[in-house]
Copies of this chain bind each other. A is one copy, B any other.
Amino acid sequence: MSRLKNDTFLRALLRQPVEYTPVWLMRQAGRYLPEYCETRRRAGSFLDLCKNPSLACEVTLQPLARYDLDAAILFSDILTVPDAMGLGLYFAEGEGPKFERPLREEWEIRALVAPDPYDHLRYVMDAVAEIRRALGNSVPLIGFSGSPFTLACYMIEGGASDDFRRVKTMLYDRPDLLHHILDVTTKSVINYLNAQIESGAQAVMIFDTWGGALSHRAYREFSLAYLERIVAGLTRERDGCIVPSIVFTKGGGQWLEDIAAIGCDAVGLDWTSSLAESRRRVADRVALQGNLDPIALFAKPEVVAAEARRVLDDFHSAGPGGGHVFNLGHGISQFTPPENVAALVNAVHEHSRNLRSRS
């Protein structure tokens, strides 16, 4: 870790002392950046961009050239794993991700096989390796995956859904089938994340985007139990450095104690949770990542800075110590004014240094 010029992000995840609060943004390489849109035009489609390691590397680095961010995150999509399982990922214009062959029949579910990450997902590992080379020893690279339940939502629904009717009907009527999908997907995610670590990812994050749509009981059985298996299956150390893990269930604030107990190093929180209260609830046993409302970035720059300070003050009000990685509570909106991101990043660094010098 000491080989990195800036390992603040990794230290914060491990609740080690840091000089300021590190910051990165979910979907920081994305459509709000004109240079991203330009590269994407050159690539063709979004999926062409994901599958081209050198272009994926290019867009991964773009936000770091503009802003003083403390981590890079692999440019990819959460649905690469089911795509590698043969479901045929595609993006219909303005409609989000879809699968050509969603899981509809029991035989299709029984035939699912965990993909070899070095075969059909080779392009991801090549991108990770290329990004690491390009980053040099500047900031750490985050690898990621969707959670088994979130992947299952798309695999069963065939795309985005506003009520998750198909996946939940299976959950209630055929829990055995859903558990089978989640089991194969869990093995796939473990292999996938470990291959990313092997290829150079220095921290990993699991995005449980839709776990918050479940009932409190179903969440534990159909999402959290699999997240726990994944965390237990991750490579813990690589090149003498710990590889921290972050688990983020959007809308999971009520279940924080349970999420914090699965063995991950950090828990992501959306903007509905108070960081101070969350710290007390988990007694600082994990680091916390978050949690500005991404829509706060539409305010005037001075208001953006003030809102960033409020998030830092909230965390700080529960006492010194703890581990905090500043982030949004969800991916950055494509309509965000890029100059407001600079105001945010600068406010986080400046105010968090001030808080430390005062206490």
Query: Which residue of B has the minimal Cβ distance to A253?
Result: B254
Query: Which residue of B has the minimal Cβ distance to A255?
Result: B272
Question: Contact string, A199-221, partner B, CB cutoff 8 A, digits 1/0?
Answer: 00000000000001011111100
With known contacts A214-B272, A274-B216, A298–B335 Cβ distance under 8 A: no
Say yes or no for A307: interface residue by CB 8 A criterion.
Answer: yes
Residues of A in contact with B, size category: 35 or more
Contact of A165 among B163, B215, B298, B310 (CB under 8 A): B298
Say yes or no for A107: interface residue by CB 8 A criterion.
Answer: no
Say yes or no for A36: interface residue by CB 8 A criterion.
Answer: no
With known contacts A165-B335, A333-B163, A272–B254 Cβ distance under 8 A: yes
- Cβ–Cβ < 8 Å partners of A215 in chain B: 271-272, 293, 296, 329
Q: What secondary structure prevails in chain A residues at the interface with B? A: helix
With known contacts A173-B300, A254-B254, A254-B273, A168–B217 Cβ distance under 8 A: no
A358 CA / B166 CA spacing, docked (Å): 37
A280 vs chain B, min Cβ distance (A): 13
Say yes or no for A164: interface residue by CB 8 A criterion.
Answer: yes
Query: Which residue of B has the minimal Cβ distance to A302?
Result: B173
Question: Contact string, A262-277, partner B, CB cutoff 8 A, digits 1/0?
Answer: 0000000001111000
Say yes or no for A241: interface residue by CB 8 A criterion.
Answer: no
A139 CA / B298 CA spacing, docked (Å): 48
Interface pair B216/A298, CB less than 8 Å apart: no
- Cβ–Cβ < 8 Å partners of A307 in chain B: 172
A residues 124-178 near B (Cβ < 8 Å) are 163-165, 168-169, 172-173
